Chain A
Amino acid sequence: QITLKESGPMLVKPTQTLTLTCTVSGFSLNTLGEHVGWIRQPPGKALEWLTLISWDDNKRYNPSLRSRLTITKDAAKNQVVLTVTDMDPTDTATYFCAHRMPGNDYGKYNFDYWGQGTLVTVSS
């Protein structure tokens, strides 16, 4: 059974760096074809894809946030880490990590399992 769980601070100050951890179980981050992504959702607004990382460390970033995002993984710890620099009140959102449905075709990319999400508020 695949599960994902986000952890990290609930409150950060403007200009600080946010670090969130996604701890996964039920699959290995080093297994061929496995991917994990981060998605966020401001209160009352739509989902926004942030980034993804593949089993072979291939990474993709939302171009509008590219300069502020970093995604890494530690397969031994079953963790995927997201860092967001220079946080702003507009970054207040629930941050989700999610598992990609296995497949070879990026054109069919989707997320079949999601973490519960963690609400991060940016305020001084």
Chain B
Amino acid sequence: SYVLTQPPSVSVAPGKTARITCGGDQIGSKSVHWYQQKPGQAPVLVIYYDSDRPSGIPERFSGSNSGHTATLTISRVEAGDEADYCCQVWDSSTDHVIFGGGTKLTVL
């Protein structure tokens, strides 16, 4: 089955740029979605269709997808961005939803 690989953790200083990767075989040919999840809360969609932002999500959040890696980029990181981030795709070969293992973003 299709596997999405994320680093367990990423650390960044306030005001800097955080990049969280999501690796998968030819993931560039798939549509990737990203969720933010804070402790004790439900996930929130922050990027869909590789790079689109839902209403209410700051422009500081952006996404890209090419080859074997999709990337969530958070510019001018704030303390409130500290959360777990998870990528997700649809595996068309099996007709199933696939989630990545999640990445914990720590703001130093």
Residues in A lying within 8 Å of B, measured CB to CB:
37, 39, 46-49, 52, 60, 62-63, 96, 101, 105-112, 114-117
Chain B residues with CB below 8 A from A37, complex form:
97
Tell me which residues across on chain A come within 8 A of B43, comparing CB atoms: 47, 96, 111, 114
Residues 54-83 of B, flagged 1 when their CB comes within 8 A of A and 0 if not, give 100000000000000000000000000000
Tell me whether A115 and B42 are in contact in the complex, defined as CB-CB below 8 angstroms, given that A46-B101, A106-B90 are known contacts. Answer: yes
Closest chain-B Cβ to A99's Cβ sits at a distance in Å of: 10
> Is A49 touching B99 in the complex (CB atoms < 8 A)?
yes
Complex contact A108–B31 (CB within 8 A): yes
Q: Which B residues fall within an 8 A CB radius of A?
A: 1, 30-31, 33, 35, 37, 41-45, 48-49, 54, 86, 88, 90, 92, 94-102
Q: How far is the CA of A7 from the CA of B1 in the complex (A)?
A: 31
Kindly provide the distance from the CB of A58 to the nearest chain B CB, expressed in whole angstroms.
Answer: 10
Give Cα A5 to B96, complex, Å. 23
Q: Cβ of B94: which chain A residues have Cβ within 8 Å of it?
A: 63
A95 to chain B, nearest CB (A): 11
User: Can you name the residue of chain B whose Cβ is closest to the Cβ of A96?
Assistant: B42
Cβ–Cβ contact B42 & A106, under 8 A = no
A66–chain B nearest beta-carbon distance, Å: 10
Give every chain B residue within 8 A of A114 (Cβ-Cβ).
42-44
* Contact among A39, A46, A47, A108 with B90 in the assembled complex (CB-CB below 8 Å): A108
Is A112 in contact with B86, judged by CB distance below 8 angstroms? no
Whether the pair A116, B42 counts as a contact (CB closer than 8 A) is yes
- Chain A residues with Cβ below 8 Å from B31 are 105, 107-108, 110
Shortest distance in angstroms between A3's beta carbon and chain B's nearest beta carbon?
Answer: 11
Partner of A109, one of B35, B41, B90: B90
What is the minimal beta-carbon distance from B34 to any residue of chain A, in angstroms? 9
Q: Collect the chain A residues with CB atoms within 8 Å of residue B1's CB.
A: 63
